[in-house]
Amino acid sequence: MRERERERERDDDDDARATMPRGAGAREFSSSLKRPSFFKRRKESSALFDSGYDDDDDGDTGRNNNNNANGAASPTKSDGNNGYSNPFLRTASYPYRAMTLFMQRVHHAFEASFLRFLALVHFGFTGFFRLVTEITLLPMAETALNVSAAELQRISTVIMFPGVLKPTFAILSDIKPWFGYHKRPYLVLGGLIGLYASTRLATGTFEGKESEIDFVIAIMCVYFAVVIFDCLTDGKRAELMHENPQTGGDLIAYSLALVVMGQILGLCVGYFALEKEEYTMVFYFVIPVAILAIIASLMGELPEEKVKYSWNLSALKVKVKYRQIVLAGTLMMVGIGLVYMQTIELVDDGMLKASIMMNFILGLCVVVLCKGLLPKFAGNVIVYAFFERALSIKFQHAVNYWYTLPQNCVPGGPHFDYVYFNIVNGFIALTFSGLGIWMFQEAFSTGRLRRIFWWSSGTRCIGSLCDLFVVTRTNLKVGIPDHLAYALGNSVLEAMVYMLSVMPFAILISKLVINGTESTLLAITSAASALGGLMASSLGSLAIEYAGIQTNIEDPNQSCDWSNLENLIIICGILSPLLCVPLTLVLIPNVLSTATFEMDDYSGEVLAITNEDGKYDDREMEKHGQIL
């Protein structure tokens, strides 16, 4: 009865807002759900828990009610404050209370079935499945496949190829339903691919370079499954965030927290595999996850309505949708061309020098296509996503080899074992990734996005600075052991910075989607970012070859050469990422993360930006050349 009364009240409020002048309804709605600043939220959350929190309209405090069933007063730790009158206890309990309020906000705003499916995807696939794949790649390359650092970098480029195909799955899901559903059949397909990949990797034998192609194909199938589930689920997430702008980054933080928990489970499983040196046994644990994903998809845990049409070609009649489809297909073809060059490089190192020209052509094509085919705001953000990845040149496999290879190849080196390098540091990184999520949610989630992007871009080189600190052995000169120096840089600081760079992207893109193309726009962003990653990985393999980094993995009689590793870190790891800082001033709008974007459903352009107080952000609109 109470639920029906609340629904009638909400309907009446919606009808009243519909009759208001332009901006009035948004102002009233935003003000009622305004997300206060960090210190104000902390004060309010303390007050809520001290007085008793309840969602009911009658004002009862539920579990905090001091009266028992017989009407007698229940004992409390302190009168009137429910156990939190002590300032120390209030401060110590704040994380728990803030987390409880956060979970209540999420579950109040979004359907339970969607949150369950989101947990399965981000915990099981994006977190667990992907991590156990990544932690087995380095030991398999060094001990089973026997490949060099440069070749491992090229293998990493190839297995990233499924990320470029995200627009393909998004376009198919938006245009072609199967059995009356846009997403469900493709999710089942992703589950089947994941089931094949986990079974093949768990039961297969990979020894020597002759099994390299078989191993790469199986790993690619892992990424195919993760990409399909990520693409379609994140599209639904963006749709719901667009409908509920007052939630800010709550759903993003919820998703990332699930990913972190899945990665923690992956590290626990990976520990036993690395200890026993049976690196592929971890995939036995993934098989049940893939089966569960297939069952959940068939049951329709991801909410969507059944349709009667066989094709949704109406998207082709709308300017922005048509252009998104053209851009998605073009980016896919560019990615296929680049990956094809990488496969040639795997057997013919002479092609490596020609890839530099392909990389520059790729970058120019992405910029021209995004600026020419997308609306102004969306085009700028996606171009930034491409450059952010492309300028972070990937040479990490060379550094990883330096950290883990034995004394005969790295004299006086750290010689980390796989358990410490992958598992111990993985746990440390996940812990501080969670801290990064909390920092964003508490200190940045209501701030201006450009400031967050500028800060995260300026600190992306912090991991390479710490690598340089260890590689030059400066840490030993000042009395800091290798294990501590590596953990502080790559596992603590870099993990926090990474989370602070991921979350504002998802929030900003969710504001730029229009009805019917949520999956496509997200997929285009991911594809552009993946192309940037492919370009960075290709440049990284070229840089490793050019620097003359040599190991004795392929040939035990070959001498190792690390003489140019310091220059590689300085140029590719420190200076190159900093070039992204000035791009934030040009490509990222200086809007609040809680602002609402009013979109034109035909052109996809931003018509107005409304802040949470109901006021229009005319200055930012004029700055980007879109006058109201």
20 found inside a domain: no
Q: What is the pLDDT of residue 621?
A: 53
pLDDT in tens, 143-189: 878 887 777 877 887 888 887 777 777 777 878 888 888 888 999 99
| Greatest mean pLDDT range, 68-82, 92-106, 279-293 | 279-293
Band of the pLDDT at 580, cuts 50, 70, 90? confident
**Does residue 70 sit within a domain?**
no
CB-count burial class (<10 Å; 0-12, 13-18, 19+) for 146: middle
Q: Which of 61-75, 89-103, 317-331 has the highest average model confidence (pLDDT)?
A: 89-103
pLDDT of residue 349 exceeding 70: no
Per the domain annotation, does 120 fall within a domain?
yes
Task: Give the pLDDT score at 344.
Answer: 60
Q: How far lies 414's CA from each of 425, 467, 492, 622, in Å?
A: 14, 12, 18, 54
For residue 352, what pLDDT is reported?
A: 61
Return the minimum-mean-pLDDT range out of 82-96, 212-226, 412-426, 547-561.
82-96
Backbone φ and ψ of 221, nearest 5°: -65, -35
Higher-pLDDT residue of 256, 324: 256
In the numeric block, the tokens 């026997």 are attached to 146
Residue at 33 is within a domain:
no
Least Cα distance to 173 among 184, 182, 162 occurs for 182
Which residue would you say has higher pLDDT here, 316 or 409? 409
When mean pLDDT is compared over 101-115, 463-477, 508-522, 540-554, the highest value belongs to 463-477
pLDDT, residue 288, reads 92
What is the per-residue DSSP string for 442-510?
Answer: IIITTSBHHHHHHHHHHTTTHHHHHHHHHHTTHHHHTT--HHHHHIIIIIIIHHHHHHHHHHHHHHHHH
| Confidence tier at 493 by pLDDT (50, 70, 90) | confident
The answer on pLDDT for 71 being more than 50 is no
Mean pLDDT of the chain: 75
Q: How far apart are CA 143 and CA 240, in angstroms?
A: 46
433-446 pLDDT per residue, tens: 777 777 776 766 66
Sign of the CA dihedral running 235, 239, 242, 247: negative
- For residue 534, what are its two tokens? 């492919």
Count of other CB atoms within 10 angstroms of residue 120: 22
Q: How confident is the model at residue 53 (pLDDT cuts 50, 70, 90)?
A: very low
Domain assignment present for 64: no
Q: How far apart are CA 31 and CA 14, in angstroms?
A: 15
Query: Looking at residue 316, what is its pLDDT?
Result: 58
Assigned token pair, 580? 């992204």
296-307 average pLDDT score: 87
**CB-CB neighbours of 571 under 10 Å:** 16
Which range is most confident: 280-294, 295-309, 601-615? 280-294
Instruction: Name the pLDDT band for 614 (thresholds 50, 70, 90).
Output: low
Cα 183 to Cα 519: distance, rounded to the nearest angstrom: 10
More confident residue, 141 or 10: 141
Q: Give domain status of residue 89, yes or no.
A: no
Is 232 within the bounds of a domain?
yes
Q: Is 625 a domain residue?
A: no
Angle between helices 87-109 and 112-119 (to 10 degrees): 110
Please report which confidence band the pLDDT of residue 513 belongs to, taking 50, 70 and 90 as the band edges: low
What percent of the chain has pLDDT above 70? 72
Q: Average pLDDT in the 54-65 region?
A: 40
**253 has a pLDDT exceeding 90:** no
Q: How distant, in Å, are the alpha carbons of 343, 537, 542 from that of 359?
A: 15, 10, 11
The number of distinct structural domains making up the chain is 1
What amino acid occupies position 410?
A: V
Percentage of the residues of the chain whose pLDDT score is greater than 90: 12
Does residue 398 come out as left (phi exceeding 0), alpha (psi in the -120 to 50 range) or beta? alpha
Mean pLDDT throughout 10-26?
42
Give mean pLDDT, residues 291-296: 93
Query: For residue 191, what pLDDT is reported?
Result: 93
| CATH code for position 582 | 1.20.1250.20
Query: Rounded to whole angstroms, how far apart are CA atoms 511 and 591?
Result: 11
Q: Which domain holds residue 289?
A: 107-301+313-599
Q: Which of 471, 483, 503 is nearest to 428 (CA)?
A: 483
Summarize pLDDT for 362-394 with one digit per residue, the tens.
778 878 888 877 777 778 888 888 888 888 888
* pLDDT score, position 589: 78
What is the pLDDT averaged over residues 571-600? 79
